[in-house]
């Protein structure tokens, strides 16, 4: 698409169930405040461990969205 500009931000989603659920939650939350989300790239996955057990899954995402500029 000629003339299109996209901005990329980094977000982190968390879930007690899975990395997939963490990514989905992060995207659903982000889509409430940003328009024209285009691509989400998983940059990093990790877990929180407490007393030898996984208590949370975390996913770091780079999300691109169409930049509209000032109106």
* 29-59 residue pLDDT tens: 999 999 889 999 999 999 999 999 999 999 9
Reported pTM? 0.82
Is 1 part of any domain?
Answer: no
Is 71 part of any domain?
Answer: no
For position 19, which CATH number holds? 3.30.1660.10
Contact predicate 61/20, CB 8 Å: no
Write out the residue range of the structural domain in which residue 19 sits.
6-66
Is 13 part of any domain?
Answer: yes
d(CA 11, CA 26): 7
d(CA 16, CA 64): 26
d(CA 63, CA 21): 16
* Overall domain count for the chain: 1
Is 21 part of any domain?
Answer: yes
């Amino acid at each position: 698409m000629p003339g299109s500009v996209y901005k990329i931000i980094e977000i982190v989603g968390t879930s007690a169930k899975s990395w997939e659920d963490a990514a989905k939650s992060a995207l659903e939350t982000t889509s409430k405040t940003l328009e024209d989300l285009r691509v989400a790239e998983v940059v990093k996955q990790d877990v929180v461990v407490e007393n030898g057990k996984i208590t949370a899954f975390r996913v770091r995402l780079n999300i691109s969205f169409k930049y509209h500029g000032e109106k």
